[in-house]
């Protein structure tokens, strides 16, 4: 009896709301106000999952815990669905609650009904999931990318829409430049987003993978990874090209060396001016060179 009372509190039954309003797919359809905006019990068999769902992994253990909670207390927060033609529905948000309800053998679930086109569905699903804390960094980055590409948002507009700083959005998007193996490592929790960010500026894939393997093998912290990347970049910096030596210097350097009995340092600037440095190793050597110049 208590269960029935709980269901009534969530809203009118689905059949009653659909009785005079068949096949509505727009908020402007006749009698749409009787359905849209209501919280009602919907048969799970009439709900299809959201094709725009950015989350691709659902932790089985966490689902079982949620299912046990639903078994004891019911679904406290209704899912959100949009109405499709033929009195069917599609999930906007709440797929974990939807899956957990199936696990415990429920046949219906409380749902908030709304109207949304495909673009609105995508945006709502992505934004709703981004605001949750259990998406991994790559799923967040992919969600940001889809919003930018498919909803045609700028990074500035996106940061406002999801309530994040633009720099935060940029940092997530840059993770998608990493090698797919590294992205998988982040998704699986082998390395953190911080490790990934440290490796973003390493363009060579082999170098990225080498560092990734070293992180796993030696359990490097983010700071240690940053130091490793700095060291690697320092080693691979292009060495400055030596200034070309004029022909008249090249042709006479050996003669200078032979005359003074030591390698002579000859430097020339871009204007053709320069200086000759003659080394000596002792007072005796100095006096020897002096006599050569007398």
Of residues 36 and 72, more confidence is placed in: 72
In CATH, what is the architecture of 140-236? Orthogonal Bundle (1.10)
pTM (whole model) above 0.85: no
Question: Tokens 């359809």 correspond to what residue?
Answer: 29
- What would the pLDDT profile of 72-85 be if each residue is shown by its tens digit? 888 888 988 888 87
Give the active site residue among 41, 95, 123, 139: 95
Question: Tokens 């689905």 correspond to what residue?
Answer: 14
Is 90 exceeded by the pLDDT of residue 257?
no
Domain locations in the chain as residue ranges: 2-117, 140-236, 247-286
Same fold, 2-117 and 140-236: no
pLDDT at 24 (0 to 100): 35
- What would the pLDDT profile of 97-125 be if each residue is shown by its tens digit? 999 999 999 999 999 888 777 677 777 76
Contact indicator for 35, 14 with CB cutoff of 8 Å: no
pLDDT at 13 (0 to 100): 36
- What would the pLDDT profile of 212-245 be if each residue is shown by its tens digit? 999 999 999 999 999 999 888 776 554 555 667 7
Torsion, Cα 11 16 17 21, to 10 degrees, reads 180
pLDDT at 236 (0 to 100): 52
pLDDT at 164 (0 to 100): 85
Give the rounded percent of residues in the chain with a pLDDT score beyond 90.
23
Residues 22, 38: Cα–Cα separation, whole Å: 16
pLDDT-wise least confident of 31-45, 85-99, 165-179: 31-45
Contact indicator for 24, 35 with CB cutoff of 8 Å: yes
Is 90 exceeded by the pLDDT of residue 186?
yes
pLDDT at 149 (0 to 100): 83
Token pair of 61, please? 């253990």
pLDDT at 108 (0 to 100): 92
pLDDT at 10 (0 to 100): 37
pLDDT at 199 (0 to 100): 94
Token pair of 90, please? 């599609």
Assess whether 95 carries a catalytic annotation. Answer: yes
pLDDT at 4 (0 to 100): 39
pLDDT band at 195 (very low <50, low <70, confident <90, very high): very high
pLDDT at 37 (0 to 100): 64
**Assigned CATH for 2-117:** 3.90.1530.10
Of residues 175 and 247, more confidence is placed in: 175
pLDDT at 106 (0 to 100): 92
């Amino acid at each position: 009896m208590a269960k029935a009372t709980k269901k009534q509190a969530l809203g009118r039954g689905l059949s009653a709301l659909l009785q005079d309003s068949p096949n509505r797919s727009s908020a402007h359809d006749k009698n749409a106000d009787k359905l849209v905006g209501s919280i009602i019990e919907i048969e799970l068999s009439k709900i299809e999952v959201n094709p725009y769902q950015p989350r691709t992994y659902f932790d089985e253990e966490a689902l079982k815990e949620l299912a046990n909670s639903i078994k004891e207390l019911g679904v406290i927060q209704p899912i959100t669905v949009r109405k499709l033609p033929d009195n069917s529905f599609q999930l906007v948000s709440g797929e974990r609650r939807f899956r957990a309800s199936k696990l415990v053998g429920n046949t219906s679930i409380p749902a908030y009904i709304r109207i949304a086109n495909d673009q609105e569905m995508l945006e709502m699903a992505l934004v709703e999931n981004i605001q949750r804390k259990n998406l991994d960094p790559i799923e967040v980055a992919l969600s940001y990318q889809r919003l930018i590409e498919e909803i045609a948002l700028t990074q500035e507009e996106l940061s406002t829409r999801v309530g994040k700083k633009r720099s935060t959005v940029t940092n997530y998007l840059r993770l998608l430049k990493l090698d797919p193996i590294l992205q998988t490592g982040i998704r699986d929790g082998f390395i953190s987003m911080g490790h990934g960010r440290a490796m973003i500026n390493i363009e060579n894939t082999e170098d990225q993978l080498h560092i990734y393997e070293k992180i796993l093998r030696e359990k490097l912290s983010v700071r240690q990874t940053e130091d490793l990347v700095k060291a690697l970049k320092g080693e691979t910096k292009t060495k400055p090209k030596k200034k070309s030596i004029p022909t008249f210097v090249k042709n006479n350097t050996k003669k200078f060396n032979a005359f003074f009995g030591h390698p002579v340092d000859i430097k020339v600037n871009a204007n053709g001016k320069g200086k000759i440095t003659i080394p000596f190793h002792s007072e005796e050597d100095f006096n020897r060179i002096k006599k050569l110049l007398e």
